[in-house]
Amino acid sequence: MSMKFRLALALAFLLLPAVGMTSNAQQLRDAFRKVSQSVVIVRTKQIDLVPAPGQVMSIVDGLGSGVLISTDGKILTAAHVVQTADIARIEFADGQVVSAHVIGSDVRADVALLQLDKLPANMTPARLGDSDKMEVGDQIFVVGAPYGLGQTLSAGHVSGRHQFNKQPQSLTPIEFLQTDAAVNSGNSGSPVFTMDGEVVGIVSSIMSQSGGSEGLAFATSANTTRRILLDRRPFWSGIDGVLVTGDMAKALNLPQPAGVLVERVAGGSIAERMGLQPGTLRVNVGGADIVLGGDVILNVNGIPVAENEGNYDAIVDSINALKPGDALVIRVFRSGLFVKLSTPIQ
């Protein structure tokens, strides 16, 4: 073998990885161009207590991301972005801003469904894919608005799959995809895309000691989202609350082992229409911030709040079984008294 041939062969092997990287970069660029117009910024406002002496109220701005999934104006985002939002505005890539309202959410799965109040011009929805086909090692990319910087892309892989509520079988399974793609504040609700441009996850949270991305993020799988928000009638309570049990339940003089302490109620929600009262006093209990003074939910449609999540699906199923015009009934503990609240389902 001549020296010239050996040199040419060596150069060919050195160039092979570069060619592969160029091809992958081109695929990523093409995929981004295909889906970028479907990714939105979600800006919210809500009235909240200021954690300072006097406990005055103020308007708090919120920020997240989302993705348009239908031509009739439905948008997916993370539940914690909009669960108690009084106002939600959607900012599109071309600068259009449209108001929206929440029509469904699930705080356990951390996904929510919004409906645009009017349809903007030139909408380009993304397609919801089959997350069951994803395997550890598959390439994905995330597009969102970390720190408000819209249309930001980060690439990575599916680095794990985690399913909760496997037992008992009555509980709705919830799956999260783990990824090493960079995710930061403002990315909540960002779509996770396959290289073909299909949405396979909605960013929920990161695990971080620094507060920034450390390569450990989680997204609610597309199939979990589909089962909870699209395959059945979506429901939004508009409540932010905390499950109280044990010593806390005793301190609040609850007549049963567990209840949901209502901390916030979103304007325009079914909770507001029912007359649920939110908390009025922010305190720190055992290192955790809790807002006291609000109603404590004892049961929903006759189903008691339990110490674990065993009754959660039963409560959700009872709500889903209601027809338009049927009454949603809850029993609360308010200032030492039992109060029954109800409102018709629309």
Cis peptide, bond prior to residue 168, ω within 30 of zero: yes
Q: What are phi and psi of 176, to 5 degrees?
A: -115, 135
Burial of 93 (C-beta count, 10 Å sphere; 0-12/13-18/19+): middle
Q: How far apart are CA 280 and CA 48, in angstroms?
A: 9
110 as an active site residue: the answer is: yes
User: How many Å separate Cα 191 from the centre of its chain?
Assistant: 11
Q: How far apart are CA 308 and CA 314, in angstroms?
A: 12
38, 48, 65, 80: the catalytic one is 80
Number of neighbouring beta carbons within 10 Å of residue 56: 8
Burial of 223 (C-beta count, 10 Å sphere; 0-12/13-18/19+): buried
- Are 345 and 328 within 8 A, CB to CB? yes
- φ/ψ bin of 126: left (φ > 0), alpha (ψ from -120 to 50), beta (otherwise): beta
Q: How far apart are CA 65 and CA 86, in angstroms?
A: 17
Residues 116-121: contacts with CB within 8 Å, 24+ apart?
116/73, 116/74, 116/75, 116/90, 118/73, 119/72, 119/73, 120/92, 120/96, 121/96
Q: How far apart are CA 50 and CA 195, in angstroms?
A: 44
86 as an active site residue: the answer is: no
- H or E element, residue 340: strand 337-344
Can you point out the beta strands (E) in 69-215?
74-77, 87-91, 97-106, 111-116, 127-128, 139-144, 152-164, 174-179, 191-194, 198-206
110, 180, 240, 295: the catalytic one is 110
- Are 76 and 111 within 8 A, CB to CB? yes
65, 131, 188, 221: the catalytic one is 188
Residues recognised as catalytic: 80, 110, 188
